[in-house]
Amino acid sequence: MVRMIEINLLPPQYRTVERTPLPVFLGLIVGLLLIGAAFVAYVVQTKRGVTLAQQKRGLELDIQEKKAKAAQVDRIQREIKEARMRIDAATRVAQERTPWTRVLSEFVDLRPPYIWLESQAARRGADGKGELRLACNARGTNLQRYTEFRQRLRSRTNFMYHFSTISGARLDVRLTGEQYLEPKMLSFNLTLPLAKVESH
């Protein structure tokens, strides 16, 4: 069968314009809308991904900073623990050793000229408690001298640091020999319990 060729001899302004079929046109519109929506979704997802990446980076930096602070806190706690151990060790040494030479030297400095030390005895038990016993004599029989001497010892902080209190004992009046200026003297004992050094 021979196909005929159709020739339109009308001028262009009178020719019928061929239009895109409606289904094809609608398909193009839908396609463009889908492409636009996909582009918008891509932009939104990209922006969201950048935001999430920034948040992740910020969280990672925050975690690293907190880890560094935690390590610093652990180091400080270890240093505090070691310092407390050193303090406890020094406290135990202070409890076990009393500088008797310095204590007696301070006692001599506090002693007025009318009082002298006859003997002393220091002891410490296994429980850490101990005491210093001092046998003293005072020229004359004036009890005020004994009272003033005890008050002088109490007022010296460096001396009383090692003791908790001063306990008095029996007072005796004794006769002296011809080598003394006064015929009688006052004899008394002082008992000083050692203070317990507390650890913090």
* CATH number for the domain harbouring residue 131: 3.30.1360.100
pLDDT of residue 26: 74
Task: Give yes or no for a contact between 160 and 144, defined as CB atoms under 8 angstroms apart.
Answer: no
The boundaries of the domain holding residue 158 are: 100-193
Question: 3-class SS at 37?
Answer: helix
Nearby residues of 145 by Cβ (< 8 Å), 6 or more positions away: 112, 114, 115, 138, 139, 186
187 and 106 housed in the same domain? yes
74 and 142 within one domain: no
57's enclosing H/E stretch is helix 22-96
My answer on whether 104 and 183 are in the same domain is yes
Residues of the chain with pLDDT under 50: 199-200
Task: Give yes or no: residues 75 and 131 share one domain.
Answer: no
Region of residue 140 (left: phi > 0; alpha: psi -120 to 50; beta: else): left
- Final residue of a domain: which of 43, 77, 97? 97
Q: Which helix (H) or strand (E) holds 50?
A: helix 22-96
Our CA dihedral for 105, 111, 114, 117, rounded to 10 degrees, sits at -50
What does pTM read for this prediction? 0.44
Helix (H) or strand (E) holding 117: strand 115-124
172: left (phi over 0), alpha (psi -120 to 50) or beta: beta
Give yes or no: residues 93 and 140 share one domain: no
Last residue within a domain, chosen from 29, 63, 97: 97
Co-location of 149 and 91 in the same domain:
no
Q: Considering the domain boundaries, does residue 200 fall inside one?
A: no
Q: How far is CA 33 from CA 25, 30, 37, 54, in A?
A: 12, 5, 6, 31
- Examine the domain organization and report whether 42 and 92 are in the same domain: yes
- Terminal Cα-to-Cα distance of the chain (whole angstroms): 119
For the purposes of burial, counting CB atoms within 10 Å of the CB of 52, is it exposed (0-12), middle (13-18) or buried (19 or more)?
Answer: exposed
Amino acid 59: pLDDT:
84
Residue 105 is predicted with a pLDDT of 82
Instruction: Report the pLDDT value the prediction gives residue 90, as an integer from 0 to 100.
Output: 63
Residues 77 and 107 in one domain: no
Residues 184 and 104 in one domain: yes
pLDDT of residue 16: 60
Q: How far is CA 37 from the centre of its chain?
A: 61
